[in-house]
Amino acid sequence: MDMKKLIAITLACFAGTISSVLANDITGKVVSVIDGNTVEITSSTQEKHKVILVGIDCPEIGQQFGAEAKKFTEKILLNKDVTVSFTGKDRWGNQLAIVKIKGTRDARVDILKEGLAWTAEKNPDPDLDTYRSNAQEKGKGLWKEENPTPPWTYRRMQTMTEAKSG
Protein backbone atom coordinates (compact mmCIF):
# COMPACT_ATOMS: atom_id res chain seq x y z
CA MET A 1 0.00 0.00 0.00
CA ASP A 2 1.39 3.40 -0.90
CA MET A 3 1.83 6.18 1.64
CA LYS A 4 -1.00 8.38 0.24
CA LYS A 5 -3.56 5.58 0.69
CA LEU A 6 -2.30 4.83 4.18
CA ILE A 7 -2.59 8.49 5.17
CA ALA A 8 -6.07 8.74 3.62
CA ILE A 9 -7.29 5.66 5.51
CA THR A 10 -5.75 6.90 8.77
CA LEU A 11 -7.39 10.33 8.36
CA ALA A 12 -10.75 8.74 7.53
CA CYS A 13 -10.59 6.59 10.67
CA PHE A 14 -9.57 9.58 12.78
CA ALA A 15 -12.38 11.72 11.35
CA GLY A 16 -14.89 8.95 12.13
CA THR A 17 -13.68 8.78 15.71
CA ILE A 18 -13.88 12.56 16.12
CA SER A 19 -17.42 12.75 14.73
CA SER A 20 -18.63 9.90 16.96
CA VAL A 21 -17.18 11.67 20.01
CA LEU A 22 -18.71 14.99 18.95
CA ALA A 23 -22.04 13.30 18.24
CA ASN A 24 -22.23 12.68 21.99
CA ASP A 25 -22.17 16.44 22.65
CA ILE A 26 -24.95 18.90 21.87
CA THR A 27 -25.35 22.61 22.32
CA GLY A 28 -28.58 24.17 23.43
CA LYS A 29 -30.40 26.24 26.00
CA VAL A 30 -31.69 25.20 29.41
CA VAL A 31 -35.46 25.77 29.24
CA SER A 32 -36.52 24.25 32.55
CA VAL A 33 -35.05 23.22 35.90
CA ILE A 34 -36.89 20.27 37.42
CA ASP A 35 -34.80 20.00 40.57
CA GLY A 36 -31.27 20.79 41.70
CA ASN A 37 -29.64 18.28 39.39
CA THR A 38 -32.23 17.71 36.63
CA VAL A 39 -32.76 20.09 33.72
CA GLU A 40 -34.49 20.21 30.35
CA ILE A 41 -32.53 21.46 27.39
CA THR A 42 -33.68 22.38 23.92
CA SER A 43 -30.85 21.63 21.52
CA SER A 44 -29.82 23.83 18.62
CA THR A 45 -31.80 21.38 16.42
CA GLN A 46 -34.91 21.98 18.62
CA GLU A 47 -34.79 18.54 20.27
CA LYS A 48 -35.79 18.41 23.95
CA HIS A 49 -33.55 16.52 26.35
CA LYS A 50 -34.20 15.90 30.03
CA VAL A 51 -30.84 15.31 31.68
CA ILE A 52 -29.57 14.53 35.14
CA LEU A 53 -26.21 16.02 36.05
CA VAL A 54 -23.95 13.00 36.37
CA GLY A 55 -21.93 12.46 39.52
CA ILE A 56 -23.91 14.70 41.87
CA ASP A 57 -27.15 14.30 43.79
CA CYS A 58 -29.04 17.31 45.16
CA PRO A 59 -31.66 17.14 47.90
CA GLU A 60 -35.13 16.30 46.63
CA ILE A 61 -37.70 19.12 46.36
CA GLY A 62 -39.58 17.96 49.50
CA GLN A 63 -36.33 17.64 51.41
CA GLN A 64 -34.46 20.31 53.37
CA PHE A 65 -32.34 22.39 50.94
CA GLY A 66 -34.16 20.88 47.93
CA ALA A 67 -35.84 24.17 47.02
CA GLU A 68 -32.55 26.04 47.52
CA ALA A 69 -30.73 23.61 45.23
CA LYS A 70 -33.38 24.06 42.52
CA LYS A 71 -33.28 27.85 42.87
CA PHE A 72 -29.48 27.91 42.61
CA THR A 73 -29.52 25.66 39.54
CA GLU A 74 -32.10 27.99 37.96
CA LYS A 75 -29.84 30.95 38.72
CA ILE A 76 -26.79 29.41 37.03
CA LEU A 77 -28.44 27.46 34.18
CA LEU A 78 -31.96 28.63 33.27
CA ASN A 79 -32.04 30.27 29.81
CA LYS A 80 -28.27 29.83 29.48
CA ASP A 81 -26.49 28.49 26.43
CA VAL A 82 -24.87 25.20 27.35
CA THR A 83 -22.86 22.32 25.98
CA VAL A 84 -24.13 18.91 27.02
CA SER A 85 -21.84 15.88 27.08
CA PHE A 86 -23.92 12.73 27.45
CA THR A 87 -22.25 10.06 29.56
CA GLY A 88 -24.90 7.31 29.55
CA LYS A 89 -28.16 6.46 31.27
CA ASP A 90 -29.09 5.58 34.82
CA ARG A 91 -30.93 2.38 35.76
CA TRP A 92 -34.29 4.08 35.06
CA GLY A 93 -33.23 5.16 31.56
CA ASN A 94 -32.66 8.84 32.37
CA GLN A 95 -29.95 10.56 30.35
CA LEU A 96 -26.88 11.45 32.39
CA ALA A 97 -24.70 14.33 31.28
CA ILE A 98 -22.16 16.98 32.09
CA VAL A 99 -23.64 20.42 31.41
CA LYS A 100 -21.22 23.25 30.82
CA ILE A 101 -22.20 26.90 30.78
CA LYS A 102 -20.84 28.57 27.63
CA GLY A 103 -19.01 25.31 26.95
CA THR A 104 -16.48 25.77 29.76
CA ARG A 105 -17.95 26.12 33.27
CA ASP A 106 -19.14 22.83 34.78
CA ALA A 107 -22.49 23.46 36.52
CA ARG A 108 -21.88 20.50 38.85
CA VAL A 109 -18.82 22.22 40.33
CA ASP A 110 -20.81 25.40 41.05
CA ILE A 111 -23.57 23.40 42.77
CA LEU A 112 -21.07 21.46 44.88
CA LYS A 113 -19.13 24.60 45.83
CA GLU A 114 -22.39 26.14 47.03
CA GLY A 115 -22.91 23.12 49.30
CA LEU A 116 -26.13 22.05 47.59
CA ALA A 117 -25.26 18.51 46.53
CA TRP A 118 -23.58 15.30 47.46
CA THR A 119 -21.32 13.48 45.06
CA ALA A 120 -22.67 10.20 43.69
CA GLU A 121 -23.49 7.52 46.24
CA LYS A 122 -21.54 4.89 44.32
CA ASN A 123 -18.07 5.52 42.89
CA PRO A 124 -17.93 9.28 43.48
CA ASP A 125 -15.66 11.20 41.10
CA PRO A 126 -12.59 12.20 43.18
CA ASP A 127 -12.36 15.60 41.43
CA LEU A 128 -16.00 16.40 42.25
CA ASP A 129 -15.62 15.00 45.76
CA THR A 130 -12.94 17.61 46.47
CA TYR A 131 -15.49 20.39 45.86
CA ARG A 132 -18.05 18.64 48.07
CA SER A 133 -15.61 18.15 50.94
CA ASN A 134 -14.45 21.80 50.71
CA ALA A 135 -18.06 22.99 51.00
CA GLN A 136 -18.61 20.56 53.87
CA GLU A 137 -15.52 21.84 55.72
CA LYS A 138 -16.75 25.43 55.29
CA GLY A 139 -20.29 24.53 56.46
CA LYS A 140 -21.88 25.85 53.26
CA GLY A 141 -25.45 25.09 52.17
CA LEU A 142 -26.76 21.76 53.41
CA TRP A 143 -23.48 21.23 55.27
CA LYS A 144 -24.72 23.76 57.86
CA GLU A 145 -26.64 20.77 59.22
CA GLU A 146 -24.79 18.38 61.48
CA ASN A 147 -25.89 15.22 59.70
CA PRO A 148 -27.92 16.03 56.55
CA THR A 149 -29.89 13.19 54.98
CA PRO A 150 -28.53 12.21 51.56
CA PRO A 151 -31.16 12.25 48.81
CA TRP A 152 -30.78 8.51 48.13
CA THR A 153 -31.64 7.80 51.78
CA TYR A 154 -34.57 10.24 51.59
CA ARG A 155 -35.88 8.54 48.40
CA ARG A 156 -35.63 5.09 50.02
CA MET A 157 -37.54 6.35 53.07
CA GLN A 158 -40.23 7.84 50.77
CA THR A 159 -40.54 4.55 48.88
CA MET A 160 -40.94 2.60 52.12
CA THR A 161 -43.60 5.05 53.37
CA GLU A 162 -45.53 4.87 50.08
CA ALA A 163 -45.47 1.07 50.06
CA LYS A 164 -46.94 0.93 53.60
CA SER A 165 -49.67 3.53 52.99
CA GLY A 166 -50.89 2.01 49.71
Alpha helices in 50-150, H assignment, sequence order: 66-77, 107-113, 126-138
- Separation in Å, CA 111 to CA 22, 75, 116: 26, 11, 6
- Contact residues for 74 (Cβ-Cβ < 8 A; gap 6+): 33
Report pLDDT for 54. Answer: 97
Is 69 within a domain? yes
Report pLDDT for 21. Answer: 43
What residues make up the domain containing 99?
Answer: 25-157
Report pLDDT for 12. Answer: 52
Summarised one tens digit per residue, pLDDT across range 81-101 is 999 999 999 988 999 999 999
Report pLDDT for 159. Answer: 85
Is 13 within a domain? no
Is 134 within a domain? yes
Query: Which 8-state DSSP code applies to residue 145?
Result: S
Q: What pTM was computed for the model?
A: 0.83
The CATH number of residue 141's host domain is 2.40.50.90
Is 47 within a domain? yes
Mark the ranges of the chain whose per-residue pLDDT is less than 70.
1-23, 163-166
Q: How many domains does the chain have?
A: 1
Report pLDDT for 135. Answer: 98
Is 30 within a domain? yes
Is 45 within a domain? yes
Is 162 within a domain? no
Report pLDDT for 24. Answer: 81
Specify the pairing of strand 95-101 against strand 48-53: parallel
Report pLDDT for 25. Answer: 95
Is 5 within a domain? no
